[in-house]
Every structure is written in C-alpha cells, then in structure tokens.
Structure 1
Amino acid sequence: MIFNTLLSSILLQLCLAPLGLAAPISTQTLDNSWQYGTGGGLLGLIVLILDIIVLIEVLKSSRTPLQKLVWCLVVFLFPVIGVIIYYLFSNRSAYQRGSGYESLA
C-alpha cells in the first residue's frame, strides 16, 4: 500500500516536472518562444513529446533487450537527431508486436 502510494506520487511528479520547464519565464522579450536550449520553450516541448513516443514504441517492440537499450540511449543522448535516425533506420515494421491479423484456419 505504501509502495503504491509512493510510486504514484513519484510518477505524478515526473509527469508534471517537464511542464514546469517547458516554457521559460522571460520579462525582457516575448518573441523568443521558439528557442531550443535551456528551459525548452515550445520547440523543446515538441521534441520531448516525440522522444517519449519513440521510447514507448521501442519498449513495446519485439526487439532484443540490447537493441532496446541501444535505441533508448540514442534517443535519450541525442533527442533531435536520435528521433530522426530512429524513424529513418530502425525497420519499425519488422519489430511491431501484433502487427496485422492472423488468418483463421
């Protein structure tokens, strides 16, 4: 019971933390909202969402654990380039679980 409560509070904090860092508060100018760097901005939020989508897709695939680890590290260490490399070179259709229907005998 205590473990479930602790786990749910940690997951909630992890889900809400990126929202606090997504758009930096700037009192000087408002025309810098498309920045990508410290604080993120709108472009950083989009990259974060794409990275999470790729990580979920990799972890749900039928790859070996080593392949999953390598793809997750590539996407984690190189967020923008990693997503591009994954979509270009990952052969996603070969590793999808439950892709297509089984024929009835």
Structure 2
Amino acid sequence: MTFNTLFAGMTALLMASLAVAAPVTTAALDNSWQYGTGGGLLGLVVFILDVIVFVEVIKSSRTPAQKLIWCLVVFLFPVIGLIVYYLFSNRDAYQRGSGYETLP
C-alpha cells in the first residue's frame, strides 16, 4: 500500500464522516458554544487535534498497518484516542527527520 493510497483513503474517510455529521438545528443556536450541540468550541479543538494526529501518523515511519490502526483508534474514539496516542505511541522512535542535513 503506497502513501498516496493511504492518504486518499484517510481523506475519503474524513470527508465521509463530515458528510454524515448531524446538522445543527435552529433550536440549538442559542446554546451553540456549550457541549452537546454539535461540539461547539470544544468539538473544534478536538477536531483540530485529531487532524494533527492524522498528519503526524501518516508522515511517520510506521508500517501501513500501524498507521491504519492508529488512525482508526483516533477516528473512532476522538478524545480517548488522542490521549492513548500521545501516551503510548512512542512518537520519537517513529519520527522522520526534517529532511535537512546538518552542516559540518
């Protein structure tokens, strides 16, 4: 499985999840910044952190199976998945270099 195939699959999964998201009704507009009405500000923060994790996982040097498992864990359990990823993923061991070579 190539990187482009994996990235296209994750993008399609993300777009599909956004397409089936519950719409905000007009009754919920009075309470739109609080929890329970589509997420509000807290939901936006969790979404941004999830996207950061997806990008970090896809850019890592893990095997495609490991990438898929981590992305599914974070996708299916957004808050708990973030916590589990940051505690148990051993990010330093799988981090790719920045691509720059140090000067002598």
Structure 1 consecutive aligned stretches of length 4 or more whose deviation exceeds 6 Å: none
What residue ranges of structure 2 are gaps of 5+ in the alignment?
Answer: 1-10
Matches of 2:36 and 2:85 in 1, distance apart?
20
Higher Rg of the two aligned structures: 1
Q: Does 1:76 align with 2:75?
A: yes
For residues 102 and 24 of structure 1, the distance between their equivalents in structure 2, rounded to whole angstroms, comes to 49
Number of equivalences = 89
Post-superposition offset of 1:30: 3.3
The TM-score with structure 1 as length reference comes to 0.65
Q: Say whether residues 1:33 and 2:6 are aligned partners.
A: no
Work out which structure has the larger RCO, using CA pairs closer than 8 Å and 6 or more positions apart in sequence: 2
Q: Is the 8 A contact 1:33 1:41 kept in 2?
A: yes
Shift of 1:41: 1.2
In the alignment, the residues of structure 1 paired with residue 65 and residue 76 of structure 2 have an alpha-carbon distance, to the nearest angstrom, of: 16
Quote the RMSD (CA, aligned, Å). Answer: 3.1
* CA displacement at 1:33 relative to structure 2: 1.4
The CA deviation at 1:36 is: 4.2
Query: d(CA) in 2 for partners of 1:28 and 1:99?
Result: 44
For structure 1, which runs of at least 5 residues remain unmatched after alignment?
Answer: 1-10
TM-score scaled by length of structure 2: 0.66
Q: Report matched runs for 1:4-43 at 5 Å.
A: 24=24, 26-27=26-27, 30-31=30-31, 33-36=33-36, 39-43=38-42
Q: Percent identity?
A: 63
